[in-house]
Amino acid sequence: MGEPKRHRILMVSDFFYPNFGGVENHIYYLSQCLLKLGHKVVVMTHAYGNRSGVRYMTGGLKVYYVPWKPFLMQNTLPTFYGTLPIMRTILIREKISLVHGHQAFSTLCHEALMHSRTMGCRVVFTDHSLYGFGDVGSIHMNKVLQFTLADVSQAICVSHTSKENTVLRSGLPPEKVFVIPNAVDTAMFKPALERPSDNEIVIVVVSRLVYRKGADLLVEVIPEVCRLYPNVRFIVGGDGPKRVRLEQMREKHSLQDRVEMLGAVPHARVRSVLISGHIFLNSSLTEAFCIAILEAASCGLLTVSTRVGGVPEVLPDDMVVLAEPDPSDMVLAIKKAISILPTIDPQVMHNRMKKLYNWHDVAKRTEIVYDRALKCSNQSLLERLSRYLSCGAWAGKLFCLVVVIDFLLFRLLQLWQRISRWYLIFFCPKMKIRGMLPNLSLQRRPMLEMILF
């Protein structure tokens, strides 16, 4: 048998380190494992504060923090074509063969996938979230997703529920969508050497305190549980607009000594918070997968979670207690969890998580999707336009117009850079351009390369 094919992959998303979250962790750990498999991996995201330009992370992971500032919720302002020149530069410089975009809510992801298809690259998309069909925001996002996925080579979802949701929202053929779950770094999330004392039961919440994560449910659940169990204490880690409501609840019910508010918790400190508790509480109203549950289970905590989205697929029945997203049902689930708590062995749970979820397994399964994507035929512009026309009577025509303009701008950019290169070579011979490149500073070299190549 021949050598396995090595890919040159560009990961694109608005969400990456130093920001923390499920998408950020997924991109980082997947990239590290793909590097170990021998692939070339580059990440493209927007600038975070003064973090701009090219940076290197563990394992030689190269990250392009392009000079675009976040506009809303860590997303860049949609420009449609503003990212085309820098996308072209990165794809050519890094000799990228496949572009992998992450998260439907990422503006940079949608633009990068469109430009990549215009340049003839195969593209893969991973959806990390669930969206509805009734509110204005979801309707708009679903139409954008339909536009992007009309021309992708393959797509990945993190759960079967997420796959069904994505297929319904985008109209993508189900045979093009693969289910590859998230994983957890079990070496980082280990149980405590000694289990916390059973005299006091500690329930841990680590989540963004927003409506989607069920912060309003916590406001009703926590006082009731504290009333029923005098020996129960809560630790709440996370920040967000709903934090004020939780603090008001704590004041109203005089629970300052039983509800500890930690605020935002850096990812490096999440384990230390988890191992101080017995039960992990997840109150999300919608969730495609929920990596936080994996981290808690890996630390040996029994999980109580709402039965939403892909959460029922995450853990075996004996490691999680599920409840409807209703305060009374969640209180009953916490009662059940407290009753079975003595039967839980944190080390046994950790060992089971090692076998169930592994980033190297996720990387190998993703590698298969990449192989299938590269086998897809590279269609011409007219063939691509026929796909967009099927997206709707008016939307299809609008999508075609956007893609045609993108194609024309790409050709114009190619022509302009050829003219610029020949102008510099013939009319500025003293510059000795080719000899200058190795001597230029790292900050100036990319700009000259962009003009030349």
For residue 13, give the DSSP letter. -
Instruction: Say if residue 273's pLDDT is above 70.
Output: yes
- Of 61-65, 268-272, 377-381, which range is least confident? 377-381
- Of 36-45, 161-170, 412-421, 441-450, which range is least confident? 441-450
CA quadruple 425, 431, 434, 437: dihedral positive or negative? Answer: negative
Query: What pLDDT is recorded for position 428?
Result: 59
For residue 440, give the DSSP letter. S
The residue-averaged pLDDT of 191-195 equals 85
Quote the tokens at residue 427.
């009319």
Mean pLDDT of the chain: 87
- Contact in structure between 30 and 128 (CB atoms under 8 Å): no
- Contact in structure between 192 and 296 (CB atoms under 8 Å): no
Query: What pLDDT is recorded for position 430?
Result: 47
Per-residue pLDDT band at 446 (split at 50, 70, 90):
low
Query: What pLDDT is recorded for position 435?
Result: 52
SS3 of residue 209 by DSSP: coil
Greater pLDDT, 453 or 364: 364
Question: Residue 344: what residue type?
Answer: I
Distances (CA, A) of 312 to 2, 132, 304, 306, 360: 41, 19, 11, 9, 23
DSSP for 41-109, written as a single string: EEEEEE-BTTB-EEEEEGGGEEEEEES--EEETTEEPP-SSTTHHHHHHHHHHTT-SEEEEE-TT-HHH
Instruction: Say if residue 427's pLDDT is above 70.
Output: no
The residue-averaged pLDDT of 249-256 equals 93
Taking every pair of Cα atoms in the chain, the longest distance, rounded to a whole number of angstroms, is: 84
- Contact in structure between 234 and 222 (CB atoms under 8 Å): yes
Nearest to 292 by CA among 17, 26, 106: 26
Per-residue pLDDT band at 125 (split at 50, 70, 90):
very high
Nearest-angstrom CA–CA distance, 378 and 386: 14
Query: What pLDDT is recorded for position 322?
Result: 95
Per-residue pLDDT band at 453 (split at 50, 70, 90):
very low
Distances (CA, A) of 210 to 128, 244, 435: 18, 11, 55
Quote the tokens at residue 163.
């796959």
Instruction: Say if residue 335's pLDDT is above 90.
Output: yes
Per-residue pLDDT band at 420 (split at 50, 70, 90):
confident
Nearest-angstrom CA–CA distance, 151 and 382: 12
Per-residue pLDDT band at 3 (split at 50, 70, 90):
low
Quote the tokens at residue 219.
């406001």
The residue-averaged pLDDT of 19-39 equals 91
Instruction: Say if residue 96's pLDDT is above 90.
Output: yes
Greater pLDDT, 441 or 117: 117
**Over pLDDT 70: what percentage of the chain?**
91
Instruction: Say if residue 61's pLDDT is above 90.
Output: yes
Instruction: Say if residue 448's pLDDT is above 70.
Output: no
Give the model confidence (pLDDT) of 364-409 as tens digits: 999 999 999 988 777 778 888 888 888 878 888 888 999 899 999 9
Maximum mean pLDDT: which of 18-22, 190-194, 362-366? 362-366
Nearest-angstrom CA–CA distance, 237 and 275: 13
Query: What pLDDT is recorded for position 178?
Result: 95
Nearest to 133 by CA among 164, 178, 157, 177: 164
Nearest to 284 by CA among 212, 210, 222: 212
Query: What pLDDT is recorded for position 305?
Result: 96
Per-residue pLDDT band at 451 (split at 50, 70, 90):
very low
All structural domains of the chain, each given as residue ranges with its CATH number in brackets, are 8-183+364-408 (3.40.50.2000), 201-357 (3.40.50.2000)
Q: Which region, left, alpha or beta, applies to residue 280 given φ > 0 means left and ψ of -120 to 50 means alpha? A: beta
Query: What pLDDT is recorded for position 20?
Result: 79
SS3 of residue 256 by DSSP: coil
Nearest-angstrom CA–CA distance, 309 and 170: 18
For residue 4, give the DSSP letter. P
DSSP for 4-38, written as a single string: PPPPEEEEE-S--TTS-SHHHHHHHHHHHHHHHTT
The residue-averaged pLDDT of 224-232 equals 93
